[in-house]
């Protein structure tokens, strides 16, 4: 065998070795990648809407040719649109641009990468929590509780007005202000009355008691019977006795409770 023949035989053996080892020449074009059997199988499975099977086929295509930009592109699209896996989609989009740097759709692919990163960040990054934001939240909670207390006061006042509508004077308002020019105490009102003068009767004054004004409380969010009893300076047993059938664990917001006399 001549030296020239030996040289060409060596070049042919090197080419065969490279091909068998899966390392294709850098000059391989996209058309060659799309003819790879696993890639063709992946496309057919996409058309059949067998997306899991398509992913498996394109992964096998990459095992045959890790530099296949076409296979990376197909996997990126599947992971982004069919599997909702933005991390995998970002990887394969980047590999596509790496092995196809002159791609005509490079700008569109970069937009897809940005979109996937935003989706990934929304899933894994919690909302920022700063001391200022937490302070503002606490203030809003406190203001809401104050407003709820005011509402409860006025509801109780309205209820007491209904209960005292047959009395001479209405009970005091929720903030202690008198509701009329002739107020009566919200507790047991005591009036000193003198009977008409009759011969032989005791003319000394006597005390007569009127019925105590009813008191109620509307349950607010987060309240418990213990907290309500402490707020009004009454015992828990007295509160429960004034509300037969009350189940502390099943109290609901807006429920009206009767308050015993202090």
| Residue range 14-36: mean pLDDT, rounded | 55
Question: Quick check: 90 and 113 in contact, CB under 8 A?
Answer: yes
Tell me which range, 8-22, 36-50, 244-258, is most confidently predicted by mean pLDDT. 36-50
pLDDT band at 155 (very low <50, low <70, confident <90, very high): confident
Q: Residue ranges of the domains in the chain?
A: 29-124, 210-262
The structure's pTM equals: 0.40
Averaged pLDDT for residues 244-258? 88
Q: With bands split at pLDDT 50, 70 and 90, how would you rate the model's confidence at 191?
A: very low
C-alpha angle with apex 213: 211 to 215, nearest 5 degrees?
A: 140
Q: How confident is the model at residue 52 (pLDDT cuts 50, 70, 90)?
A: very high
Question: Could you tell me the CA-to-CA distances from 146 to 139, 173, 259 in Å, in that order?
Answer: 11, 17, 20
Taking only the tens place, the pLDDT of each residue in 62-104 is: 999 999 999 999 999 999 999 889 999 999 999 999 999 999 9
CATH top-level class of 29-124? mainly alpha
Contact 222, 236 (CB under 8 A): no
Query: Could you count the other beta carbons within 10 Å of the beta carbon of residue 80?
Result: 21
To the nearest 10°, the Cα dihedral for 111, 115, 121, 123? -160
Q: pLDDT digits over 203-230, tens only?
A: 444 434 444 567 899 999 888 888 898 8
Residue range 210-262 forms a domain whose CATH class is: alpha beta
Residue 240 structure tokens: 């429960």
The span from the CA of 255 to the CA of 249, in Å, is: 13
CB distance 36 to 57 below 8 Å: no
């Amino acid at each position: 065998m001549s030296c020239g023949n030996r040289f060409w035989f060596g070049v042919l053996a090197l080419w065969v070795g490279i091909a068998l080892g899966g390392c294709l020449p850098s000059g391989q074009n996209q058309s060659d990648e799309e003819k790879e059997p696993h890639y063709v199988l992946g496309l057919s499975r996409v058309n059949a809407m067998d997306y899991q099977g398509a992913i498996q086929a394109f992964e096998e295509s990459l095992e045959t040719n890790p530099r296949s930009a076409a296979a990376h592109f197909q996997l990126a699209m599947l992971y982004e649109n069919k599997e909702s896996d933005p991390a995998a989609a970002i990887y394969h989009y980047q590999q596509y641009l790496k092995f196809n740097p002159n791609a005509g759709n490079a700008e569109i692919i970069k937009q897809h990468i940005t979109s996937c990163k935003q989706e990934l960040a929304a899933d894994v990054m919690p909302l920022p929590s700063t001391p200022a934001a937490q302070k503002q939240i606490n203030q809003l909670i406190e203001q809401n509780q104050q407003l709820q207390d005011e509402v409860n006061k006025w509801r109780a006042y309205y209820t007491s007005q209904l209960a005292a509508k047959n009395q001479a004077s209405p009970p005091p308002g929720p903030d202690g202000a008198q509701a009329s020019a002739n107020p009566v105490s919200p507790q047991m009102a005591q009036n000193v009355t003198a009977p008409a003068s009759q011969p032989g009767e005791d003319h000394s004054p006597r005390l007569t008691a009127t019925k105590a004004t009813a008191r109620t409380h509307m349950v607010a969010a987060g309240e418990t019977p213990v907290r309500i009893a402490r707020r009004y300076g009454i015992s828990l047993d007295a509160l429960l006795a004034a509300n037969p059938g009350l189940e502390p664990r099943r109290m609901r917001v807006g429920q009206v409770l009767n308050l015993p006399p202090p």
